[in-house]
Structure 1
Amino acid sequence: MFALAWPIIVTELLQVAYNLADTVWLGRLSTDAVAAISLAFPLIFLLISVGGGFTVAGSTLVAQYTGADSEASAGTVAGQTLGFITLIAVVVGVLGFFATDAMLSVLPSSPATAEQVVPMAADYMRIFFLGLPALFGFFVFSALMRGYGNTRAPMAVMFVSVLVNVVIDPVFIFGFESNPLFGMLGASGVEAALFAATGFEGMGIEGAALATVLSRLVATVMGVYIIFYTSAGPNVSPSDFRPRPNVVRKIVRIGVPSAVEQSASALGLIMLTAMVVTFVPEVLAAYGLGNRLVSLIFLPALGLGRATNTIVGQNLGAGKPDRAERAVWMAVKAGSSVMILIGVVAYVFAEPIVGVFIGTGTDAAAQTVAYGADYVRVRAFEFGFIGLLQVVLGAYRGAGNTKTALAFSLFALWFGRIPVVYYLSFVRDFGETGIWIGIAFGQILGAVAAGLWFTRGTWKASVIDRGQATGD
């Protein structure tokens, strides 16, 4: 389990590095730029969640066929998943590009946010949507390799991609005329020479989006090469891309609940953002920054949850449900213990952690840091429960029981977070503190409910017939 989990944790850490790199450099551009990506992310997540849910189906099926020693069927599932999600990525990317203004218009905004933040968010989103196939390409590669049991290859690919992003991100944002990266490196002479040669002044927030897309494209190209030309993952051949209706139906059957789960989570984030955006831009910036930091903190739990997905899938495919259950409880104990420790550290050092990512030296920056620190401190109380929730949801997905995972995700969000946030912030007048408390409460409620349901043991059936290969 830990052999599978630590590369996943590192991969997700590198995944978060994409977002944090944007936050660090855009935080030096303006707090409005940080608020813009905070506003854009839930809307982007809403559309990419459609394809993201189907990667869960690919990972689960590859894991169970691998456990059942059906290498040919694992390769067929991998090929069908790649082809199916590529088509989805193209459609969603085009839809998102043309629907950007309409999506932003549905969010209520304060006058300052509407004038200063919304136009920047639109610029970021359009470029991001045009690059969506590159983004999905790596997601599919990573999921298929994880189901196969190889989590190190995605980690290596992600490392290269993040390295590319870290190098080009500040260049695309600031250009060469006044780039803080060169100042940090003490290379102002090089900066002046490059600007004199190119005249490139940077693209601001659009540059951040373009840098991310190009970096993702590097990862996708590497992932496709590994799938087709190495033995590191499922054995995929060109014939595996020929449409197999029975395989596609199985991918859709397992993937639709996960897609709905992720889409509902995205809609929930939009609802929360719609409430947050009625506050001043500093609160919106703190909310977005806090979410990115919390997503970084959650990585150990997320890694164990995805490792549990693979272990449960392979053991159920091999006809060993008791071994799968033992692995789940081991992961729960380890994940919850680690997350409680991280929660203590995050609570004590919240302000200096948040302060690293905001460096404009203005009153707005100071207010953003204060709001962000409060957010992290409140959410620290939920961290131990997240260890439980992520592992149990991973077990449900590994068993192909994605409807159960959907139910508890919706319960945590729509019966916990959103009603409590609204009640505390707008009925009880807790202001931004009500947002922070409501978000933490929803996760705790979902974790307790999912854990209690798991003890019933009704999740232990596989979704494949052992020894039966996929056919036409």
Structure 2
Amino acid sequence: MSINLAEDRAEEASDQNLPSVWRWGEELRATFVLAWPLVIAQVAQMALVTTDVIMMGWLGPKFLAAGTLASSLMSPFYLFGIGLVSAVAPMIAQAIGARDFKSVRRTVRQGFWVSVLLAAFLVALIWNTKAIFLFAGQTEESSGMAQVYVHYAIWHLFASFLFLVLRCLLSAQGKTKVILVITLAGIVVNGLGNYALMFGNWGFPRLELMGAGISTTFVNTVMFLIALGYILTHHRFKRYAILVRLWKPDWNRFFEIFRIGLPVGCMLTAETGLFAAATLLMGWLGTNELAAHAVALQCASIAFMIPLGISQAATIRVGLAYGAKKSEGIRKAGWVSIIMGTGFMGTTCLAFWFIPEVLVGFYLDPLLPENQVPLQLAVSYLAVAALFQLVDGGQVVTSGALRGLSDTKVPMFVAIFAYWGLGLPISYFCGFVLGWGGQGIWLGLAAGLAFVAVVFVIRFAWRERLGLVNYKSI
């Protein structure tokens, strides 16, 4: 009996990857091993959306327009939910770091509760899509087609949020490769589902946008069930018994998820809203400017996936050290992640600066005369984007590190002020008052991100004097 207990304890220590003494090299390796599958999984997640967009385009312009319209409505609510539910990540990491495995189960259980309740609320909120779009001045046809897609795709919120809870548990245990494999499998299932249901192949009815919506819900359900099956059958996760007493409430933990997660959701919504507003400003300048902005933004979004994955690893590594009450571990986990994120964005900064034509050429054919103006504009926008690559990477990774300390409320206020109190006004002033056009709008984006990055880095550096490291609260 004692031998088995000793083996279990040794396995637990190995599982959590918590050294007794944190060393820079070991932390760098641990963060890299944790982060790289998350990075690729983020890119793969983008590929899921890209697959839908491509196949909607195959149906025709009106289907693509309606599908894009529907996605534009669902996306902010989805991102808000992702931010809220992601609060379980630092809570799980801190519990594992403290060897409080009962708290892991309770956090996962309450994460499931929050996921289901939040998804039900969002479904009810945006169910009457057609009326929303008609009120916004969209055509009857586009509004009706968009509603068809939403009525079948919106149900994916339940599975998506539930999968995120399990993804946080897998990440905290260092099983990020499993997340990557599941996400890659999701791309295949989504592509096959779209091909069968949207176009009526392999004996299935041709359902067009309805088929795309069904496929979206189905693939997210499959991803959740695969993750759940893996966790329930793997020996490392059996100790958590995550489905035991699933009906039992834990109100303190339930509201703790909201306390940590609501600011994260608001912060994601504020940042997404800033870029949406910038797109609107670009539309005021003209079609060429808007097309160039879309290309430059796509390049920046792909580059952003790297520090975003690293930020998720930062949350876990800092959370583990915080739960273990290791101040040195918190320091090294945070700074290693910040250096990794900004270091990578330094390479994209150079790429945007020295080879923008190559990058833009993937989206706009330089041989076509009609592409010459938007191509040149996109190159000029990437020059500005190169300047904020470092601060963009710095702000998202440092945000992840602060999240590992359950510090989300003040960062939310900082982000909202920076994006809407500084970034957007500067974009308008530089773009229209000074007459700098699209480059001025991008300078405003850079200014907002730079402010957030500087404040977040200072906040992490001053974490102890600001009282962010409070072991009594764990």
Tell me the TM-score normalised to structure 2 length. Answer: 0.80
Aligned partner of residue 238 in structure 1, secondary structure: coil
Are residues 1:450 and 2:462 paired?
Answer: no
2:415 matched to which residue of 1?
Answer: 409
Cα displacement (A) at 1:244: 1.4
1:426 matched to which residue of 2?
Answer: 432
Structure 1: where are the runs of 5+ without partners? 177-193, 467-472
Cα displacement (A) at 1:264: 2.8
1:51 matched to which residue of 2?
Answer: 81
Q: Is the 8 A contact 2:189 2:219 kept in 1?
A: yes
Following superposition of structure 1 onto structure 2, how do residues 14-53 of structure 1 map, counting pairs within 5 Å? Answer: 14-25=44-55, 41-53=71-83
1:327 to 326, 333, 352: 333
1:293 matched to which residue of 2?
Answer: 299
The AA in structure 2 aligned to 1:94 is A
2:386 matched to which residue of 1?
Answer: 380
1:143 matched to which residue of 2?
Answer: 168
Aligned partner of residue 239 in structure 1, secondary structure: coil
Structure with greater contact order relative to length (CA < 8 Å, sep ≥ 6): 1
Which deviations, in whole Å up to 9, do the C-alpha atoms of 1:397-434 show, x marking residues without a partner? 00001113313322331133211222233333333333
Cα displacement (A) at 1:122: 5.8
Distance, in Å, in 2 between the alignment partners of 1:325 and 1:38 is 43
Following superposition of structure 1 onto structure 2, how do residues 43-442 of structure 1 map, counting pairs within 5 Å? Answer: 43-99=73-129, 101-102=131-132, 105-106=135-136, 125-169=150-194, 175=199, 200=206, 203=208, 208-233=212-237, 234-278=240-284, 280=286, 283-357=289-363, 371-442=377-448
Distance, in Å, in 2 between the alignment partners of 1:93 and 1:442 is 32
1:461 matched to which residue of 2?
Answer: 469
Query: Structure 1 residues 276 and 218, CA, compared in 2 at 3 Å: closer, same or farther?
Result: farther
RMSD: 3.5
Distance, in Å, in 2 between the alignment partners of 1:53 and 1:329 is 23
Structure 2: where are the runs of 5+ without partners? 1-30
Q: Is the 8 A contact 1:97 1:130 kept in 2?
A: no
Query: Structure 1 residues 405 and 297, CA, compared in 2 at 3 Å: closer, same or farther?
Result: same
The AA in structure 1 aligned to 2:92 is V
The more displaced of 316-325 and 247-256 is 247-256
Are residues 1:5 and 2:35 paired?
Answer: yes
Distance, in Å, in 2 between the alignment partners of 1:141 and 1:6 is 18
Q: Is the 8 A contact 1:385 1:447 kept in 2?
A: yes
Cα displacement (A) at 1:87: 1.8
Cα displacement (A) at 1:256: 2.1
The AA in structure 2 aligned to 1:435 is I
Q: In percent, how many aligned pairs have the same letter?
A: 24
Aligned partner of residue 128 in structure 2, secondary structure: helix
Aligned partner of residue 462 in structure 2, secondary structure: coil
Query: Structure 1 residues 114 and 87, CA, compared in 2 at 3 Å: closer, same or farther?
Result: same
Cα displacement (A) at 1:351: 4.0
The AA in structure 2 aligned to 1:313 is G
2:12 matched to which residue of 1?
Answer: none
The more displaced of 307-316 and 213-222 is 213-222
Query: Structure 1 residues 444 and 148, CA, compared in 2 at 3 Å: closer, same or farther?
Result: same
Distance, in Å, in 2 between the alignment partners of 1:464 and 1:380 is 42
The AA in structure 1 aligned to 2:127 is F
Distance, in Å, in 2 between the alignment partners of 1:28 and 1:349 is 31
Query: Structure 1 residues 31 and 12, CA, compared in 2 at 3 Å: closer, same or farther?
Result: same
Q: Is the 8 A contact 1:82 1:140 kept in 2?
A: yes
Distance, in Å, in 2 between the alignment partners of 1:35 and 1:289 is 18
Q: Is the 8 A contact 1:397 1:405 kept in 2?
A: no
The more displaced of 310-319 and 93-102 is 93-102
